[in-house]
Amino acid sequence: MNEEPTRRDVLGYGARGAGLLVLGSTAFYLTKKAHAKGVWVIDPAKCINIRLGTTGIDQFCDKCATTCVIPLSAVRAVNDFSKCGRCCICPAYFDVASDIGRDGLPVRKLCPRDAITREAIGDVDPDDPLNNFYEYTIDKTKCNGCGKCVMACKEPAGLGSIRLEIRYDLCTDCNRCAISTACPEDALARITRDLAPGGKAVESSH
Ligand code: SF4
Ligand code: SF4
Ligand code: SF4
């Protein structure tokens, strides 16, 4: 009796193998979805960079940038335009400790990754260029959530319009968030999506 598998047998095994692979992938996906009902969030009242009362740029905490498991971190800074004063000399955009140039502005920027852009709102008065307003936008492809600008924008120097957020389109939702382990203030918490504002995960507005 010939025990060699026929071509039809081989094709049959292949099809069944592919089917099992699809089923396995689907089961893994559904398990992950079921697990993914919680999300990691930063408590603004605890985070050194966001909370009121801790000031001084040298005090900023960079652990969100340096300990996340994904490249560049899942944490990014966002500027809440509804709170931003659109200051001409923004302490989060400029390194206000640097020298003042001939244009009356600090010569250095604060962000180590040059992730903040500044655009004049309306026409700039050439006779009074410092009396103008600017829109500051954070480039999420450059920002690594180092938190420096967040610390600098805080009252009393700024209006606290910049904050740090975990972006849910980037976060891989680790069981034990590496940042939560490293955070010196225990400022990360895992909450259910239902508890997040709007009844779902908070997506960054920018
Ligand atoms: S590690 Fe903690 S304290 Fe440091 S920036 Fe992140 S949330 Fe804030
Ligand atoms: S958090 Fe850091 S990298 Fe991101 S915009 Fe602010 S200073 Fe730049
Ligand atoms: S859960 Fe993982 S990917 Fe998400 S912020 Fe924490 S360490 Fe980064």
Question: Does the structure show a pLDDT above 50 at 32?
Answer: no
> In this structure, is residue 138 part of a structural domain?
yes
pLDDT for the residue numbered 195: 60
Handedness of CA 183, 189, 193, 196 (dihedral sign): negative
d(CA 109, CA 40): 31
Instruction: Tell me, yes or no, whether 168 lies in a domain.
Output: yes
- Choose among 87, 124, 91: nearest CA to 109: 91
- 172 C-beta neighbours (distance < 10 Å), count: 11
Global pTM reads 0.78
Indicate the top mutation candidate among 61, 66, 78, 144 to test ligand 2's pocket, ranked by most ligand atoms within 8 A of CB: 144
pLDDT at position 201: 40
Domain with 108, as residue range(s), is 36-199
Residue 108: which pLDDT band, with cuts at 50, 70 and 90?
Answer: very high
Which ligand ends up closest to the CA of 144?
2
Note whether residue 22 is domain-resident: no
> Looking at the domain assignment, is residue 17 inside a domain?
no
Regarding the beta carbon of 148 and ligand 1, being less than 6 Å apart is answered: no
Q: Is residue 169 part of a domain?
A: yes
- For ligand 3, say whether the CB of 74 is within 6 Å of any of its atoms: yes
pLDDT at position 196 is 56
In the numeric block, the tokens 């800074």 are attached to 77
Structural domains in the chain (count): 1
* Residue 15 predicted with pLDDT over 90: no
Confidence of residue 125 (pLDDT cuts 50, 70, 90): confident
CA of 145 from ligand 1 middle (Å) equals 10
Are 172 and 152 in contact by the 8 Å Cβ rule? The answer is: no
Within a domain: residue 29? no
Q: What is the mean pLDDT of the chain?
A: 82
Mean pLDDT in residue range 11-31: 42
Determine, yes or no, domain membership for 13: no
Instruction: Determine, yes or no, domain membership for 53.
Output: yes
Cα–Cα distance measured from residue 10 to residue 49, given in angstroms and rounded to the nearest whole number: 61
H/E run at residue 77? strand 75-79
Rg (CA), the chain: 24
